[in-house]
Amino acid sequence: MSEGQELVHVRVRVNGQPYEADVEPRTLLIDFLRDELGITGPHIGCDTGHCGACTVILNGRSVKSCMVLAVQADGSEILTVEGLEKDGQLHPLQEAFWENHALQCGYCTPGQLMSAYFLLGRNPNPSEDEIRKAIEGNLCRCTGYVNIVKAIKAAALKMSSPRAG
Amino acid sequence: MSKASPELISLYTQDSAALTLKWLGKPLKPKEDHRLVRGRGAFVDDVQLPRMAYAAFLRSPYGHARIKGIDISRAKSMPGVLLVWTGDDIKKRMRPLPQATPPPARNAIDYPLAVDKVRFQGEPVAMVVAESRYLAEDAANQIDVDYEPLPAVMDAEKALEPGSPWCTRRSDPT
């Protein structure tokens, strides 16, 4: 912490768990999650809002957490990739990404998953165009978009036919 | 994905009763994906070690410029700053980076931090090591570099034209 910086108390719920910490006002949400709270699923790819590796769900909306200050997230509910799994069961999106080889190095994957999660929450049956539009803010340097789109489609199908999986 | 041929399958089933076709002829789910889809990849940036320090680089805003002077005094005295290096510090400690290209390109003298001049926009000019990344970047922003801008070439073909400015230092004057 540098001198002369007044610390601000921030309280959030991440994946259902309450957290609080004192941070510098300039602390980015992604740094707060990763460095203060040790939640390292969301990654930093560019720090400039381009790559989407840091995407999380903030109060129900997908955000790039390098574009949000931790103090702006005070009092909010955050979902990260770590929160997708329920009782040791992978979320259908996680299953589908695995099943369809929608990742290679895995660095962009947490962001892709959260963008896809946000999409399916609003549009349970998206077209290929809608899927591509939804992940346009998530860059994959392994360039595996075809399989990512396939995986999101597969997950949508599975989630819209309950008890099928 | 290629399938195992019937001959291969019969070979395996005849020769080894114990060997089933568990892995051949079918797509396999990558093992590592299980942790990667759960955000448990443990990439380098995810690793926290005791007494870890962070480096930040000050980079050139010019495509080509002479470095007339670098003032690191303010950066060096900032809290949490452990080290500030410029091209001179690097030059004292190492030989130029080996060049893999054939000559004459191999004759270029290149260091990890700019020595005497910068040759592309974004070339690292100084490195700050500090106790946190925020502090390292703060200190990098407090370094003053006195540049004398030189003509830069933006086009590969123009670089070949006679009289085009040289941008790399050369170890021999051929």
Query: Residue A134 domain-assigned?
Result: yes
Cβ <8 Å between B39 and A80:
yes
CATH number at residue A70: 3.10.20.30
3-state secondary structure of A12: strand
pLDDT at B18 over 60: no
Taking CA–CA distances from A103, the nearest residue in chain B reads: B33
Please, how many CA atoms are within 13 Å of residue B53, restricted to the half-sphere of its CB? 13
- The phi-psi region of residue A58 (left if phi > 0; otherwise alpha if psi is between -120 and 50; otherwise beta) is beta
What domain count does chain A have? 2
Cα distances from A148 to residues A134, A144, B24, B31, in angstroms, run 11, 6, 25, 18
Q: State pTM to two decimals.
A: 0.84
Which residues have a Cβ under 8 Å from the Cβ of A17 and sit 6 or more positions away? none
Task: Please list every residue in chain A whose beta carbon sits closer than 8 Å to the beta carbon of residue B42.
Answer: 40
Q: Which of A83, A114, A136 is the last residue of a domain?
A: A83
Query: Residue A3 domain-assigned?
Result: no
Task: Note which residues in 71-100 of chain A have CB less than 8 A from chain B.
Answer: 80-82, 84-85, 90, 94, 97-99
Here the ipTM equals 0.92
Task: Please list every residue in chain B whose beta carbon sits closer than 8 Å to the beta carbon of residue A100.
Answer: none
Per-residue pLDDT reduced to its tens digit, A86-122: 999 999 999 999 999 999 999 999 999 999 999 999 9
Per-residue pLDDT reduced to its tens digit, A62-82: 999 999 999 999 999 999 999
Same domain, yes or no, for A54 and A116?
Answer: no
Taking CA–CA distances from A42, the nearest residue in chain B reads: B39
> In terms of pLDDT, which residue wins out, A62 or A4?
A62
Same domain, yes or no, for A68 and A97?
Answer: no
Per-residue pLDDT reduced to its tens digit, A15-65: 999 999 999 999 999 999 999 999 999 999 998 999 999 999 999 999 999
Q: CA-CA distance, B33 to A113, in Å (whole number)? A: 13
CATH number at residue A121: 1.10.150.120
Task: Please list every residue in chain A whose beta carbon sits closer than 8 Å to the beta carbon of residue B131.
Answer: none
State percent of chain B over pLDDT 70: 89
Mutate to test the interface with A, among B37, B40, B135 (most CBs of A within 10 A): B37
For chain B, which residues lie within 8 Å of any Cβ of chain A, measuring from their own Cβ?
27, 29-30, 32-34, 36-43, 45-46, 48, 78-80, 132-135, 138
Spatial contact of A18 and A27, defined as CB atoms under 8 Å apart: no
User: A33 to chain B, minimum CA–CA distance in Å?
Assistant: 11
Same domain, yes or no, for A36 and A102?
Answer: no
> Domain range spanning residue A131?
92-160
Query: Residue A165 domain-assigned?
Result: no
Query: Residue A111 domain-assigned?
Result: yes
Q: CA-CA distance, A24 to A7, in Å (whole number)? A: 5
Task: Please list every residue in chain A whose beta carbon sits closer than 8 Å to the beta carbon of residue B39.
Answer: 40-42, 80-82, 110
3-state secondary structure of B136: helix
Query: Residue A1 domain-assigned?
Result: no
Same domain, yes or no, for A109 and A143?
Answer: yes
DSSP 8-state class, residue B98: P
pLDDT-derived band of residue B108, with 50, 70 and 90 as boundaries?
Answer: confident
